[in-house]
Amino acid sequence: MSQLVPDLTTLLAPLSDGMSLAIPPDYSGVALAATRALLKRGVRDLHLIAVPQAGLQADLLIGAGCVKLLEAAGINLGEHGLAPRFTAAMQAGELRMRDATCPAIHAGLQAAEKGIPFMPLRGILGSDLLRVRPDWRVIDNPYGENDPIVLIPAIRPDVALFHARMADREGNVWVGIRRELLLMAHAAQTTLVTVEEIYEGSLLDDPALAAGTIPALYVTRVCEVPGGMRPLGFENEPSDEAQLARYASAARSREGFNGLLREWLA
């Protein structure tokens, strides 16, 4: 079902302008090399879904004008502070935002995973999130009495894009405990993955590795891109803090952002 492809252009071909794109948080597995390839190609009008939050990747896409709608529980650069292009775009009223809370995004993806239209969720009541999210409904819990409960509609991304440790030639992808990536693959129509390395043999034949593997059934295309998350960290490899600090500082202005982007895409 899935296929190993030789380059990022082929990997990203299924992602068209206007699609919804789910991306993982910076601490998981961010396909940043693939994101640079998207920026070079000039993707447009994305509905970007952070699962459930995002950082550098989202800020790059927003800064480059690729995002028409953003759904996230939070956008920042971690220890490097605010995400400058997100902040600027919001304060300029240039970005449509669907604020969320982390478990609501997980729940929406789980609803898609289960093929159900919505998932109930506790909490949230009294938050202004309900005001800005008319798609989150409140019903009276049929199993309670006078017990309001929030419903979160299913989130079915057109594409999920992430970076992982390894894939085998069947297209199975090992993510270990990073099971939000498995959830994204289950929920999305199309799943595109960059990996550090190719595993020879089948990941599903090893009982230990199988437990952390996304079966090829859910993986559309895979591309081997060692270091494909840089300058973000991955597993035990730390982030390139100097580069991130440089970004956080430069991207405060549009000119600074454009200059750094030219450099990064060169």
Partner 1 sequence: MNSLSYTEEELMACVMARLLRGLRHVAVGALSPLPASAALLAQALEPSLQVTILGSRKHLRFTDGGRELFDCAAQGRIDAFFLSGAQIDGQANINLVGVGDYEKPDRRFPGSFGSAYLYHLVPKVILFRQEHTPRIFVPQVDFISAAGVSAPNVYRPGGPQHLVTGRAEFAFSEGQFRLVSTHPGTDAAAVRAATGFEFESAASVPSTPAPAPEELMALRGKVRAAVSEIYPAFATRAFAAPKA
Site for partner 1 in 168-197 (CB under 8 A): 172, 177-183, 186
| CB-CB contact of 65 with 95 (8 Å) | no
Q: Is 107 in the site for a second copy (CB under 8 A)?
A: yes
Cis amide prior to 25 (ω within 30 degrees) = no
**If contact means CB under 5 to 8 A according to the sort of partner, which of partner 1, a second copy, none does residue 120 touch?**
a second copy
Q: How many residues bind partner 1, per CB under 8 A?
A: 71
Contact window for partner 1 (CB under 8 A) among 15-23, 76-84, 191-199, 248-256: 76-84
CB nearer to a second copy: pick between 93 and 134: 134
Whether residue 167 contacts residue 173, with contact meaning beta carbons closer than 8 Å, is answered with: yes
Smallest distance from the beta carbon of 180 to a second copy, in angstroms? Answer: 13
Strands (E), 13-136: 20-23, 46-50, 53-54, 67-72, 74-75, 96-99, 118-121
Torsion of CA 90, 96, 101, 105, to 10 degrees: -140
In the bound complex, what is the minimum distance in angstroms from residue 53's beta carbon to a second copy? 19
Output the smallest distance, CB 160 to partner 1, in A: 13
Shortest Cβ distance from residue 263 to a second copy (Å)?
A: 34
State which of residues 13, 198, 211, 265 lies at the interface with partner 1 (CB under 8 A): 211
Q: Check residue 239 and report its DSSP letter.
A: P
Binder of residue 143, out of a second copy, partner 1, none (CB less than 5 to 8 A by kind): a second copy
CA dist 78 → 56, 161, 173 (Å): 9, 20, 27
Residues between 231 and 250 that touch partner 1 (CB under 8 A) = 236
Nearer to a second copy among residue 60 and residue 184 (C-beta) = 184
Q: How far is the CB of 223 from partner 1 (least distance, A)?
A: 21
Contacts of 132 (CB under 8 A, 6+ apart): 98, 99
Q: Which of residues 115-174 bind partner 1 (CB under 8 A)?
A: 115-116, 121-129, 132, 144, 146-149, 172
Give the residue from 244, 222, 260, 239 showing the smallest Cα distance to 5.
222
Taking CA atoms, 113 is separated from 28, 80, 109, 204, 210, in Å, by: 20, 34, 6, 21, 20
What is the footprint of a second copy within residues 183-242 (CB under 8 A)?
A: 207-212, 235
Residue placing its CB nearer to a second copy in the complex, 86 or 136: 136
| From 10-18, 38-46, 106-114, 220-228, span contacting partner 1 (CB under 8 A) | 106-114
The binder of a second copy chosen from 6, 92, 93, 122 (CB under 8 A): 122
CA distance to 126, 140, 189, 248, per residue, from 144 (Å): 19, 8, 35, 48
Q: Is there binding between residue 156 and a second copy (CB under 8 A)?
A: no
Residue 264 beta carbon to partner 1: minimum distance, rounded to whole angstroms:
23
Q: Which residues of 77-99 are buried (b: 16+ CB within 10 A; e: fewer)?
A: bbebeebbbbbbbbeeeebeebb
